[in-house]
Amino acid sequence: MKRAAVLLFLASLFAACPAPAAERPNILWFVVDDMSAHFSCYGETLVSTPAVDRLASEGTRFTRASITAPVCSACRSALITGMYQTTIGSHHHRSGRGEMKIHLPEGVRPVPELFQKAGYYTCIGSGLPDLDFRGLPFGGGKGKKKGGGGGSRLGKTDYNFEWDARMYDSHDWAGRGDKPFFMQVQLHGGKLRADTAEANRALAERARRELGGATDPQKVTLPPYYPRDPVLLEDWAAYLDSVRLTDLHVGRVIARLEKEGLLENTLIIFMTDHGISHARGKQFLYNEGTHIPFVVRGPGIARGAVREDLVMQIDMAPISLAAAGIPIPGMMQGRDVLARDYQPRSAVFAARDRCDETVERLRSVRTDKFLYIRNFHPLRPMLQPNAYKDGKAIVKALRRQHEAGKLPSVPEALLFSPTRPAEELYEYGTDTFQVTNLAANPDYKAVLEEHRGVLDRWIIESGDKGPETEAMYDSDMAEYLKKRSAEVEKNIALMKQWAKEGK
């Protein structure tokens, strides 16, 4: 009996040890800014995306993947820890940037630290030795402070908590020696299009140079709550060209992996950090802001498979750790959805909080058929004042039509309502764009109450940190005010006024 116990103990020790470097897969994440699932393999017909389509045909494509936060920093804080941003207190966009800092809860560590500790070479960059996160030569044009050229070649992080820069060994896997690597390829994605018509026309010229043609604005199909305004059509065409250019970059990284003999031993996850940056997309909890592409390819991954269960971007962390043979921390909220014993979720959750100077609090639960959204500030307008969004040509065009009384009834009601319902309920599978709110429909009373209860339990069980303190808001706003923007200053004053009025 004693000998058997010793053997069992030794076996458990060996099982807990990571496999030798030569046997462990490399892990590569594609993380793309501001882009919805507008890829051919997800049904987009106006543009072709052969590289992402290849990943899908050689791997597993998830059709119902969502993010937990529809804005960069909150989403990225979640994905790099495998935790809800609301649980770790990193849910307010660009928070902890002032004098008051945010620290991760005890026991929560960024995923690169876990890989580094397990012997992986950790890197974050563009995935290409000569091109930056925009797919342009290093050192050219704008974006130098974001890893685009001239300075650091490290990729975008944008975490809302304090972290040690040493958790990344490099911007590229080239210096890994005999170690396996964990690589985050950070791409500009939807941010390749800009806030002005002139910049988007320049992007169209780039598409013609690099892809042989640009997307025709007149062939674009917009969601029903956006009018076919020339500014919006040209912007959406530029967005689709940014999808094509992103796909081109992905293809180049895949080609590099093939050339270096690394592709077949590399687990690849392709995803975006939230949906398209538009009036009802980024920053909101409808499909346009939260539904993302999510494709996994690599050793042991089913080829050409399509999964329709509910997954989230925080699942990237446990999927990757498990593939590398690294223990998944017990408190990690993401799940290894590729595990043999994985049981599909019955619901996924998302949250939107303060974005820049604009105070907000939205929570949602998505089940197999329904999307339930709770607005904690129903007395505020749908499109609250926000310098970032209000500076976009598309939002300016929408506001002009609204002020002139020329908007059709659907966008007028959904975008420019002076108040909002406290609850929203959509049968999102059939109501693709979430136009018909069923919350007040008596036929859906039981469904509404069920989803209300599910969200209530999640808020409590996940430890949702809720609104930030006035002191934290002031600390971060002090950083924003350094830019000397009269609009931001005006919006901050309005946020404080509405708070006093109980709005």
pLDDT at position 12 is 39
Are 340 and 366 contained in the same domain?
Answer: no
Mean of per-residue pLDDT scores for the chain: 93
In a domain, 284, yes or no: yes
pLDDT at position 139 is 78
Share of the chain above pLDDT 90, in %: 91
Chain centre distance of CA 116:
24
Are 299 and 415 contained in the same domain?
Answer: no
Are 368 and 257 contained in the same domain?
Answer: no
Distance, in Å, from the CA atom of 376 to the CA atom of 387, rounded to the nearest integer, reads 21
Are 31 and 73 contained in the same domain?
Answer: yes
In a domain, 13, yes or no: no
What is the rounded average pLDDT of the residues 309-319?
A: 98
Q: How many helices (H) and strands (E) does the chain have?
A: 14, 11
CA angle 334, 267, 328 (to 5 degrees): 30
Give which of 441, 442, 428, 433 is closest to 415, Cα–Cα.
Answer: 433
Are 316 and 242 contained in the same domain?
Answer: yes
pLDDT at position 151 is 57
In a domain, 9, yes or no: no
Are 416 and 356 contained in the same domain?
Answer: yes
Are 414 and 339 contained in the same domain?
Answer: no
One-letter identity of residue 202: A
**Terminal C-alpha separation, the chain:** 69
Structural domain of residue 407, as residue ranges?
352-501
H/E stretch holding 122 reads strand 121-125
Are 117 and 173 contained in the same domain?
Answer: yes
Q: Helix, strand or coil for residue 6? A: helix
Task: Extract the tokens encoding 263.
Answer: 């592709």
Are 408 and 346 contained in the same domain?
Answer: no
In a domain, 306, yes or no: yes
pLDDT at position 14 is 37
Chain centre distance of CA 184:
14
Q: Is the pLDDT assigned to residue 150 strictly greater than 60?
A: no
Task: Give the CATH number for residue 319.
Answer: 3.40.720.10
Query: What pLDDT digit, counting tens, does each position of 245-291 carry?
Result: 999 999 999 999 999 999 999 999 999 999 999 999 999 999 999 99
CA torsion, ordered 250, 254, 257, 260, to nearest 10 deg: -110
The confidence band for 197, taking pLDDT boundaries of 50, 70 and 90, is confident
Are 283 and 27 spatial neighbours (Cβ–Cβ below 8 Å)? no
Tally the domains of the chain.
2
Are 139 and 163 contained in the same domain?
Answer: yes
In a domain, 373, yes or no: yes
Give the domain-ending residue among 295, 321, 350. 350
Give the domain-ending residue among 313, 328, 350. 350
What is the rounded average pLDDT of the residues 78-93?
A: 98
pLDDT at position 2 is 42
Are 49 and 178 contained in the same domain?
Answer: yes
In a domain, 185, yes or no: yes
In a domain, 16, yes or no: no
Which residues are within 8 A (CB) of 292 and not within 5 positions of it... i.e. 6 or more apart? 35, 36, 37, 65, 66, 67, 271, 272, 273, 274, 275, 313
Determine phi and psi for 443, rounding to 5 degrees. -65, -20
Q: Is the pLDDT assigned to residue 497 strictly greater than 90?
A: yes
In a domain, 6, yes or no: no
Q: Where are the beta strands (DSSP E) in 22-79?
A: 26-32, 60-66
Q: Helix, strand or coil for residue 182? A: strand
Q: Which of 5-14, 25-34, 133-142, 307-316 has the lowest mean pLDDT?
A: 5-14
Sheet with 362-366: strands ordered across: 348-352, 362-366, 371-375, 423-426
Q: Helix, strand or coil for residue 270? A: strand
pLDDT at position 142 is 52
The DSSP call for residue 281 is: S
pLDDT at position 140 is 66
One-letter identity of residue 357: E
Chain centre distance of CA 228:
27
CA torsion, ordered 438, 282, 417, 368, to nearest 10 deg: 0
Are 159 and 308 contained in the same domain?
Answer: yes
Give the domain-ending residue among 301, 333, 350. 350
Please list the alpha-helical segments (H only) found in 190-327. 197-211, 230-259, 287-290, 316-323
Task: Extract the tokens encoding 50.
Answer: 């052969």
